[in-house]
């Protein structure tokens, strides 16, 4: 296992220098944020990012994400051009030594929450999700602010996009995903970049849009769409774990060799389709993080791991879910579990 930490680039108040001081963190997860979705990333820009990370004594481990243009998910417009650009980006990433790319296939919205700074009883702030609140939000009015939100959409773009999706069923989305994989994974195999799809967060439909990477059966279906180790997963415990039907240790054991990137975090299920993000420690939420790490250990996982969303603690302010302190505690906690598993050995 290689412990990593997400860094949002030069504007991130959590600097590379700070990340370097977290015990056991050696890798950085990042992306190039100013290239419009759909355009190819040049080799020079990738190299620039890599050099910056390396100058701080860290390694650029995974790209999270190379985003997928909506035309590809819609199966319309310029999808062939955008797929071609995607393949160029993969080739350039490989040339710069990157071997793992995270992406998602969620229509329009990435991860979604109803409150970005809900106050917990201990005074910390966490992201929470209440289904009723979210389903009553209107993406076309100005009051919506989501952490994974692409702020570059105007209201008119958004209206047009949502209108286009009205004609896209779940089965259409599967077909469009297969069309994408058939072209992109071939290149990923050629240049040896492991593609790792991120599950939908939350793993159910929002705003009437289809979502398909949501549970064990669908993940199995996804992996069979293109049966290759290069067509793999980012197994995000927090995204899938808010559905009681998803048993995370079982999922980890079910897809050996296909999980390339592990997002480890805890969540507390507070009702049907309702949850709070919790501190990483098992007894703070509904997931057993020791059992999760044990499943990785026992299946010989040697991919990348990162702590995922943290609460805001000790007065920290910043990017929701991506402060320094709580994520750093998460990294050290996960490393502690891993070290114990390694020292106790057995079952591997
Ligand atoms: C949230 C993240 C997601 C993830 C993308 C991958 O914190 O896990 O935004 O980066 O879905 O494409």
Q: Is residue 198 annotated as part of the catalytic site, yes or no?
A: yes
The SS3 of residue 7 is coil
Catalytic residue among 322, 325, 326, 333: 322
Is it the case that residue 325 has pLDDT exceeding 90?
yes
Whether 335 is in the pocket of ligand 1, judged by its Cβ within 6 Å, is no
Whether 30 is in the pocket of ligand 1, judged by its Cβ within 6 Å, is no
- To which residue do tokens 């009205």 refer? 166
Is it the case that residue 209 has pLDDT exceeding 90?
yes
The SS3 of residue 168 is coil
The whole-angstrom separation of Cα 212 and Cα 168 is 12
Residue 180, C-beta contacts closer than 8 angstroms, at least 6 positions apart: 68, 72, 79, 83, 86, 105
Q: Whose CA is nearest to atom 12 of ligand 1?
A: 103
pLDDT at res. 155 = 81
What number is the average pLDDT over the span 302-313? Answer: 97
| Helix H or strand E encompassing 83 | helix 79-95
CATH code reported for the domain at 2-344: 3.20.20.150
Residue 274, C-beta contacts closer than 8 angstroms, at least 6 positions apart: 128, 129, 130, 131
Is it the case that residue 152 has pLDDT exceeding 80?
no
- Report yes or no: 208 and 163 within 8 Å, Cβ to Cβ: no
Is it the case that residue 111 has pLDDT exceeding 80?
yes
- Report yes or no: 105 and 213 within 8 Å, Cβ to Cβ: yes
Position in ligand 1 atom list of the atom nearest CA 65: 12
What number is the average pLDDT over the span 55-64? Answer: 98
Helical spans, DSSP H, in 56-130: 70-74, 79-95
Terminal alpha carbon distance of the chain: 14
Among residues 321, 343, 337, 233, which one has the least CA distance to residue 281? Answer: 337
pLDDT band per the 50, 70, 90 thresholds, residue 197: very high
On the question of a cis peptide bond just before residue 313, with omega within 30 degrees of 0, the verdict is: no
Position in ligand 1 atom list of the atom nearest CA 148: 9
pLDDT at res. 149 = 63
State how beta strands 115-119 and 125-130 pair: antiparallel
pLDDT band per the 50, 70, 90 thresholds, residue 233: very high
pLDDT band per the 50, 70, 90 thresholds, residue 78: very high
> For residue range 237-295, what is the model confidence (pLDDT) as tens digits?
999 999 999 999 999 999 999 999 999 999 999 999 999 999 999 999 999 999 999 99
Distance 149 CA to ligand 1 centre (A): 11
Q: Is residue 122 annotated as part of the catalytic site, yes or no?
A: no
The whole-angstrom separation of Cα 150 and Cα 111 is 11
Distance 308 CA to ligand 1 centre (A): 10
pLDDT band per the 50, 70, 90 thresholds, residue 331: very high
- The length of the chain in residues reads 348
Q: Give per-residue burial for 254-268: e unless 16+ CB within 10 Å, then b.
A: bbeebbbbbbbbbbb
pLDDT at res. 135 = 84
Is it the case that residue 143 has pLDDT exceeding 70?
no
What number is the average pLDDT over the span 85-108? Answer: 98
What number is the average pLDDT over the span 14-26? Answer: 98
What number is the average pLDDT over the span 168-196? Answer: 98
Whether 198 is in the pocket of ligand 1, judged by its Cβ within 6 Å, is yes
Instruction: Quote the percentage of the chain above a pLDDT of 70.
Output: 96
Each domain of the chain, given as residue ranges in start order, spans 2-344
pLDDT band per the 50, 70, 90 thresholds, residue 345: confident
Is it the case that residue 84 has pLDDT exceeding 90?
yes
Q: Is residue 226 annotated as part of the catalytic site, yes or no?
A: no
Is it the case that residue 101 has pLDDT exceeding 70?
yes
In angstroms, what CA-CA distances link 103 with 66, 160, 213?
Answer: 6, 23, 12
pLDDT band per the 50, 70, 90 thresholds, residue 326: very high
Q: Is residue 309 annotated as part of the catalytic site, yes or no?
A: yes
What number is the average pLDDT over the span 187-216? Answer: 97
Average pLDDT across the chain, whole number: 95
The whole-angstrom separation of Cα 263 and Cα 111 is 14
């Amino acid at each position: 296992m290689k412990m990593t930490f997400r860094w949002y680039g030069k504007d991130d108040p959590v600097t590379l220098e700070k990340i370097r001081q977290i015990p056991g963190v050696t890798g950085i997860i990042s992306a190039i944020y100013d290239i419009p979705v759909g355009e190819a990333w040049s080799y020079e820009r990738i190299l620039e990012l890599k050099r910056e990370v390396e100058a701080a004594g860290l390694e650029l481990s995974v790209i999270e994400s190379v985003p997928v243009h909506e035309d590809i998910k819609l199966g319309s417009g310029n999808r062939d051009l955008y797929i071609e650009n995607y393949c160029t980006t993969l080739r350039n990433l490989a040339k710069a030594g990157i071997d793992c790319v995270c992406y998602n296939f969620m229509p329009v919205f990435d991860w979604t929450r109803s409150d970005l700074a809900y106050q917990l009883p201990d005074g910390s702030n966490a992201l929470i999700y209440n289904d009723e609140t979210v389903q009553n939000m209107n993406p076309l009015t100005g009051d919506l602010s989501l952490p994974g939100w692409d702020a570059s959409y105007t209201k008119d773009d958004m209206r047009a996009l949502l209108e286009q999706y009205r004609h896209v069923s779940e089965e259409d989305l599967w077909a469009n995903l297969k069309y994408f994989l058939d072209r992109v994974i071939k290149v990923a195999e050629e240049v040896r970049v492991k593609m790792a799809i991120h599950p939908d967060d939350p793993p159910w439909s929002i705003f009437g849009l289809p979502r398909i990477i949501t549970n064990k059966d669908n993940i199995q279906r996804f992996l069979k769409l293109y049966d290759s180790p290069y067509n793999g997963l980012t197994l995000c415990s927090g995204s899938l774990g808010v559905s009681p039907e998803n048993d995370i240790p079982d999922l980890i054991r079910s897809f050996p060799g296909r999980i390339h990137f592990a997002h480890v975090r805890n969540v507390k299920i507070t009702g049907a389709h309702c949850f709070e993000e919790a501190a990483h420690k098992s007894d703070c939420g509904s997931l057993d993080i020791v059992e999760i790490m044990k499943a990785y250990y026992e299946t010989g996982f040697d991919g990348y791991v990162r702590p995922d969303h943290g609460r805001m603690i000790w007065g920290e302010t910043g990017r929701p879910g991506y402060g320094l302190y709580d994520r750093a505690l998460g990294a050290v906690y996960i490393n502690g579990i891993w070290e114990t598993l390694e020292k106790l050995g057995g079952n591997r």
